[in-house]
Structure 1
């Protein structure tokens, strides 16, 4: 708001008083009417804020649409399938470990059993034969408790298909900066581009061109971006 040097007519009460120019509507107001004018603007800002908060609440309370629900179902099914694949793979690996260990130890025991039977049948053995059998039995026992004939190999190629959620559109937001210049400062009847008399409305198109309905000058002013 800027103050005029001389007394001019207030836009509201039409009295000659020291007035202040509103840079938004380019009208001049006395101090009392300027206060009322600012209160009106504050009320409009409060209304916009309330509408924004109401809309925000509606968004927060809004149920997911059919498409979103379908995506969630697909993600849930992928989770179930992936867990099932992991469980099955783990079970297969456990079975291989058990079978491999039993097969390895089983062969060792069968071999030792055949040697013991041969010695019994021949009925010819001495301390050396007994020591050999004792060592073989100890070795098989150690192998049973410390089996190392199998190991785990990490596969670099995953067997589960990874999924990701991609946003198809990224919203863009325009934000007004509080950094302005006066482009219409005149007042009264006339044809100058920076001269307005009773502006009735303002419109900004997609190219950021500004249109103002200059009511009492009976024209529409366009300022190109």
Structure 2
């Protein structure tokens, strides 16, 4: 709304003219510049309307958000696994019930056939009296009673957890920064040593040549480390300074309670177990977190290094010697090649020492092609991969990598790489020709802003980065910078 004020100075041209006051900004405008002012206001309104429309579209697209789709698939898998488990148990109980009843009926039939045979014999010989007849009547009555007597079979219920309960937990606004990571997200450059010290050791607070890391975002955030030099898997609560051995730790060896230079570890949330790349024993093992004596080898004769699992529960393992990555579904004996498998080399269908791996919600596999100094992405079903980081030879420019190790991908498709010999973590946007340094890159060392041979790499639900410093025998945490 405007109000005519008579002659005064126009705010735009600064001339004495008949003017009108804008009740919004309280400035006076001549008639010529009032039109310009209204046009500018209309432009601002159009811009606000456009932003509203964009927000409405973003709101409508939330149901198709990759994170929501991924979580929905996890719920669907839990539902299917629970149904299958219940159906399998019900089938086994029905079969057992039938076997018990058949065994009971079979015993009665055998006794009845014996009596029938005896009746035939005495009839044929015509050699019986009242006492014999009464005995046959009594035996038949016994069989009748045996047939009709109440069953001693019952259904026993066990009041223990049979199917793991799941629930949906909505984080508070302060705890949901992982979902809000954007292309320009930054991390604080001074990290905090949360696990281990600079010197190797085998005490509860020490590591020796650590490699892979896994973070379990449960009620109490747990961190699992493949402690290669100590032949064990360590578990830390984020709120404590010392860890505990949850797998191995019984010396180097190939017994089921031992490990030999484990390189990686992931957690199978569906059955609360660890899956471990037991590299020195050329096997992948499952180790229950509920029962420390429950271990099993699930893959044999493999030079395993990297491990990951997709939302369907399929397991992916990299083989350092065969230069390939295979996917194993539950019950598979051989798995199928999903990356490499064409011998050692640097063409797009080959790998050279594939170490760490990551799989996204589309089941595309990202592979640290370590000795080719690049990271490859193999879409599901592809016969060859594409270079998504490095591939320009070994070096320290932003277009190069030097023996890449740990890899993770956020839901925007940004790739994070532990650049081992460059002592830095580098982020590569989708389609980028160069990366950008996220943390490190300040030379090899032990200072808070330095790294020393980073291997394992992980990110928690808040967006904080965790880096395994192989050279310093510790784990650094870099908090997300919310400023």
Q: TM-score, normalised by structure 2?
A: 0.27
Quick check: which one's helix share is greater? 1
Higher gyration radius (CA): 1
TM-score (norm 1): 0.49
